[in-house]
Each structure stands twice: as structure tokens, then as C-alpha cells.
């Protein structure tokens, strides 16, 4: 069980995402992380342990930007650690995920065969690499997410960012709950 939050709007994303993660902290206390995009570049902070550890990290090194995603993790694949904390990045793709990808091992092996290198022990990192592989094949961001998720088996909710499209946040789900809030220009 994990909690994910995405934000796009006119406010600074980090405080909004942190507030959302605080409301979802009961869904994961093994690690937490946030990624924002500023000028087409991802800025990320991840920490092991409770959300307060991430808050301390962000107090020392804030992440600017008006688009971002965040995650609070209850470990299912891979031990609780900073390296297994979400978000996960492959190329220009950044992903947070709640759920379990049942076929992540064969997908991981397939992607390794295509030259992908994995940094974590999580099933989530496979999603970022799948989307990146679809981008390499010439698909646009949205089409790449759709194509990658069609290969995934299991229940999930994801939020995805792409450095090449810094004004777009994609959210998708299969069998897992997701709530979308819409504000004035948010």
C-alpha cells in the first residue's frame, strides 16, 4: 500500500504535494519522495523512513516548480531504502506508483536485454523504463504511457512526468483507487 500525489497549477508544487502526502502517510512509512520539473529538468528528493525525513530534506534543499509528483511508500518489492524510494526515473520519464506489477520480473529482463540499467529493486522502476522505451520508438508522451501500461499486469495507480513535456502530468489507474481534484487553473 502506498500513497501518490500529483500537482500541476500556479502554486509551488512541493508544499501542495507534501500536504497531500501527510494525508496519505498511513499508506506508507518506509520511504517518501517528491519530484518537480523546472525549466525542463527534474529535481528530486527521496528519503528512507517516515515523511518527516523528507520534510527535513526539503527544508534544507527546497524543490521549486509548479508541477510535481510525490509518494509515500509501504515496501512490497525491495527493502525500505532511499534507492527504492519513489519517484523512479528512466531517461526523461519520472513515475510514482501504488499497486503491484505482477509481471515486473519478465518485463525487467526484457528491458535489460534492450540495454536498460536498473537502480532499484522495485516493480515501479519497470514502468519508467517501459515508458522511456516507448518514447525511444517514436511515440509521444501520452501514447508512450498508454502503450507501456498495456504491457503491465496487476493493479496500479500511477502519476507520470516527462522532462520533454514539462507542462503535462499523466495519471492512470487499473483496479486501484484514484481521486482527481480540479481547482481554478489547477
The order of strands in the sheet holding 88-90 is 88-90, 93-101, 154-162, 169-174
SS3 label, residue 51:
helix
The alpha-carbon radius of gyration of the chain (Å, integer) is: 15
Give every CB contact of residue 125 below 8 A, 6+ residues apart in sequence: 88, 90, 95, 118, 119
- Average pLDDT over the chain reads 90
Q: Work out whether the CA dihedral 77, 82, 83, 85 comes out positive or negative.
A: positive
pLDDT level of residue 136 (50, 70, 90 thresholds): very high
Query: With DSSP H G I counted as helix, E B as strand and the rest as coil, what are the percentages for the chain, rounded to 5?
Result: 30, 30, 40
Cell of 152: 503491465
pLDDT level of residue 103 (50, 70, 90 thresholds): very high
For residues 136-158, average pLDDT: 97
Cell of 14: 512541493
Which domains does the chain carry? 3-174 (3.60.20.10)
pLDDT tens, residue by residue, 76-95: 666 666 777 779 999 999 99
What stretch of H or E contains 9?
A: none
pLDDT tens, residue by residue, 24-70: 766 556 788 999 999 999 999 999 888 899 999 999 999 999 999 99
For residues 120-134, average pLDDT: 95
* Whole-number pLDDT of residue 50: 85
Whether 12 has a pLDDT exceeding 60, the answer reads yes
Question: What is the C-alpha to C-alpha distance for residues 164 and 138, in angstroms, rounded to an integer?
Answer: 13
pLDDT level of residue 72 (50, 70, 90 thresholds): confident
* Whole-number pLDDT of residue 177: 80
Q: Supply the DSSP string of 68-79, one letter for each residue.
A: EEEEEE--SSS-
pLDDT level of residue 74 (50, 70, 90 thresholds): low
* Whole-number pLDDT of residue 79: 61
Task: Tell me the percentage of the chain whose pLDDT exceeds 70.
Answer: 91
Amino acid at each position: 500500500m502506498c500513497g501518490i500525489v500529483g500537482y500541476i497549477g500556479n502554486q509551488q508544487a512541493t508544499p501542495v504535494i507534501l500536504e497531500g502526502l501527510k494525508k496519505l502517510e498511513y499508506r506508507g512509512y518506509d520511504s517518501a519522495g517528491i519530484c518537480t520539473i523546472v525549466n525542463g529538468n527534474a529535481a528530486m528528493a527521496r528519503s528512507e523512513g517516515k515523511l518527516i525525513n523528507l520534510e527535513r530534506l526539503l527544508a534544507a534543499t527546497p524543490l521549486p516548480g509548479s508541477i510535481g509528483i510525490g509518494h509515500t511508500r509501504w515496501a512490497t518489492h525491495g527493502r525500505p531504502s532511499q534507492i527504492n524510494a519513489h519517484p523512479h526515473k528512466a531517461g526523461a520519464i519520472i513515475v510514482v506508483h501504488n499497486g503491484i506489477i505482477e509481471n515486473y520480473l519478465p518485463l525487467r529482463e526484457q528491458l535489460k536485454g534492450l540495454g536498460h540499467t536498473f537502480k532499484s529493486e522495485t516493480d515501479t522502476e519497470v514502468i519508467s523504463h517501459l515508458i522511456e522505451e516507448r518514447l525511444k520508438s517514436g511515440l509521444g508522451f501520452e501514447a508512450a504511457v498508454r502503450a507501456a501500461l498495456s504491457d503491465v499486469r496487476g493493479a496500479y495507480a500511477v502519476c507520470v512526468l516527462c522532462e520533454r513535456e514539462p507542462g503535462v502530468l499523466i495519471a492512470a489507474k487499473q483496479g486501484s483507487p484514484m481521486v482527481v481534484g480540479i481547482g481554478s487553473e489547477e
